[in-house]
Amino acid sequence: MRIQQVFRICNSCRHILKSKVIQPLPQVSQALSYTTEPTRYTVSYEDFKHVQDILPPSRIPEPPTHDSYPTPSGWVAPSEEAPDLPYFISRTKFHVLPIVEKEKPRDQPVTVVFYIDGDIWALEKELKELIRPYVEFDPATRVHEVTRSIILKGHHAQVIEKFLYAKGF
Amino acid sequence: TNEQMSNSSYKSLLRNLPRVNLQNLKANPYAEVKHSPNRGPHAIGLKNGVRPNIKPRIGYVQDKTPFQKRIPKYGYNREQHLKRQYFPLTLWQLQRHVDLGRIDPTKPVDITAISNGRVLSMVGSESNYYGIYLLEQGANIFKAKLDIEVQIVDELALATVEKAGGTVSTAFYDRRSFVALCNPVEYFLMGKPIHKRLLPPQELVTYYTDPKVRGYLSDPAKIWEERMKLAKKYGYDLPELSEEQKHLMVEGKKDPRQVFNGLMPGSIVNLADKTVLVPENEHFKQHAAM
């Protein structure tokens, strides 16, 4: 009796509850069917061609043979026979002349020619005369025999490149 | 006034003033101000062999407003986290890499081709790089016939590439897609399904719908008109495009929601078995519908 008294619905509430029809809740499984379904997939070999186009090469490619040199960007292929000179300059792994322009500390421009075999001093003499018209004072060069390189004061990469391409290196 | 007042004048002032308060009184400018000596527990720079919790905080300057408080704030670096950067790529660099065989002119040149040919190293950079900026340096020697896709183009660079017989298009890649394209192997090795590329943000929509820049969201018919206008402006004959190039322009190689050409979002690439797993369920197909 006491429980009935506690949970007794008042007259107005009873009227409201009678007029409304309580609808059942929607089934949860219908909304989230994709979680219960297993994913079906196909294994395709044809689509992998699109992946193979994107994969990077593992080796540096060989440059193609051009009809005429220099190419539009100014690159010249090395001659097939070594030139008849007391020194030899080999190309880098990227098929480019081994000349680098850099800035030493306190704004000192410097050009480095490396990978030199044979008589380095003969090449140093020639490079000095090559650079003389572009330099205010005596051209400053330094031979580093351990690293097989010549270090020149100033930026002279273009002039040296032209000189070495003409020799056939 | 500087003159000292007599006692009687003080009294008369007091009588005449309505009320004496702090606003009526003034400090003595000739008084000696005693500064406390730099000794004791809060002394600065005097404590040798003493534990650091006795010293004052970093930046404390005794009896003065510190430097970092004196200078007012100004928004020099505001919105820095929202700004985008692009890698500069000159036409001379492109031509040199075509001459050396590192870029294949028969295939389309996009971010992956440039990354694979080691033209630019776009890996390990800061987190606000969104693509490549094609610059006009080297326009006088450029002769390669390429189909390029970059993010921003200069007008003269556009003209030189089209004069040589190539096509240019600009496309937007969000940060995640850009990183995936720079190093696709690392992306595939993660083993996750390919994501959908995002559309450009509001401020870039006007750029990528502009045919003058050959945007990927612009009308192909208008791009055709703009090509002729640019040829007239710079004074060169427009070369004829091949069928493949025309197909590229009209239908486009990639969908705007696609990251990799030919691979649908939702699929997984299996590098070990050399296959691609394509899902078959309905909701995956709807997601990949783009």
Q: What is the number of residues in chain B? A: 290
B3 Cβ contact partners less than 8 Å away, ≥ 6 residues apart: none
Walk along chain A (169 residues) and give the pLDDT tens digit of each residue: 555 554 555 555 566 666 666 666 666 555 566 667 788 899 999 999 999 999 999 999 999 999 999 999 999 999 999 999 999 999 999 999 999 999 999 999 999 999 999 999 999 999 999 999 999 999 999 999 999 999 999 999 999 999 999 999 9
Cβ neighbours, 10 Å, residue B265: 19
Are the beta carbons of B63 and B35 closer than 8 angstroms?
yes
Does position B20 have pLDDT exceeding 90, yes or no?
A: no
CA distance B142 to B92: 7
Q: Cα B126–B137–A70 angle (5° rounding)?
A: 115
Q: What is the number of residues in chain A? A: 169
CA distance B139 to B90: 9
* Interface pTM, i.e. ipTM: 0.77
Strand order in the sheet with A99-104: A99-104, A108-113, A149-153, A141-144
Interchain CB distance below 8 Å, B95 and A72: yes
Mean pLDDT of chain B: 89
**What residues of chain B lie within 8 A of the CB of A44, using their CB?**
275-278
Name the token pair of B194.
Answer: 């390919």
Over the stretch B198-241, which tens digit does the pLDDT of each residue have? 999 999 999 999 999 999 999 999 999 999 999 999 999 999 99
Please give the average per-residue pLDDT across B155-176, as a whole number: 96
Are the beta carbons of B139 and B158 closer than 8 angstroms?
no
Q: Collapse the DSSP code of B249 into the 3-class scheme (helix H, G, I; strand E, B; otherwise coil) and give the result.
A: helix
Nearest residue of chain A to residue B98 (CA atoms): A63
Are the beta carbons of B58 and B66 closer than 8 angstroms?
no
CA distance B77 to B12: 61
Per-position b or e across A14-53, b if 16+ CB within 10 A of its CB: eeeeeeeeeeeeeeeeeeeeeeeeeeebeeeeebbeebeb
Q: Collapse the DSSP code of B227 into the 3-class scheme (helix H, G, I; strand E, B; otherwise coil) and give the result.
A: helix
B194 residue type, one letter: I
CA distance A18 to chain B (A): 42
Residue B88's DSSP bridge partners are: B133
| Residue B66: band (very low, low, confident or very high) from pLDDT cuts 50, 70, 90 | confident
Helix H or strand E segment including A40: none
Interchain CB distance below 8 Å, B281 and A71: no
Please report the number of interchain residue pairs, chain A to chain B, with beta-carbon separation below 8 angstroms. Answer: 94
CA distance B102 to A94: 10
- CA of B118: how far to CAs of A94, B6, B11, B167, B188, in Å? 11, 92, 93, 22, 20
CA distance A135 to B206: 52
Q: Cα B146–B152–B157 angle (5° rounding)?
A: 50
Are the beta carbons of B194 and B258 closer than 8 angstroms?
no
- pLDDT for A8: 58
Asked if omega into A70 is within 30° of 0 (cis), the reply is yes
Interchain CB distance below 8 Å, B101 and A62: yes
Interface of A with B (CB under 8 A): 34, 37, 39-45, 47-51, 53-57, 60-64, 66, 71-75, 94-96
Q: Of B155, B131, B138, which Cα lies nearest the Cα of B93?
A: B138
Residue B71 backbone phi and psi in degrees, to 5: -80, 130
Residue B149's DSSP bridge partners are: B169
Are the beta carbons of B134 and B153 closer than 8 angstroms?
yes
**What residues of chain B lie within 8 A of the CB of A73, using their CB?**
92, 95-96, 99, 138, 141
**What residues of chain A lie within 8 A of the CB of B115, using their CB?**
56
What chain B holds in terms of domains, given with CATH numbers, is 82-260 (3.100.10.10)
CA distance A88 to A116: 6
Interchain CB distance below 8 Å, A48 and B269: yes
Helix H or strand E segment including B126: none
Any idea which residue has 């009588």 for tokens?
B15
Helix H or strand E segment including A102: strand A99-104
Strand order in the sheet with B268-270: A41-44, B275-279, B268-270
* Pick among B112, B276, B282, B287 to test the A interface (most A CBs inside 10 A): B276
CA distance B140 to chain A (A): 9
Task: Kindly tell me the number of DSSP H helices and DSSP E strands found in chain A.
Answer: 7, 7
pTM of the entire predicted model: 0.77
Are the beta carbons of B151 and B133 closer than 8 angstroms?
yes
Over the stretch B35-58, which tens digit does the pLDDT of each residue have? 778 777 766 666 677 776 776 777
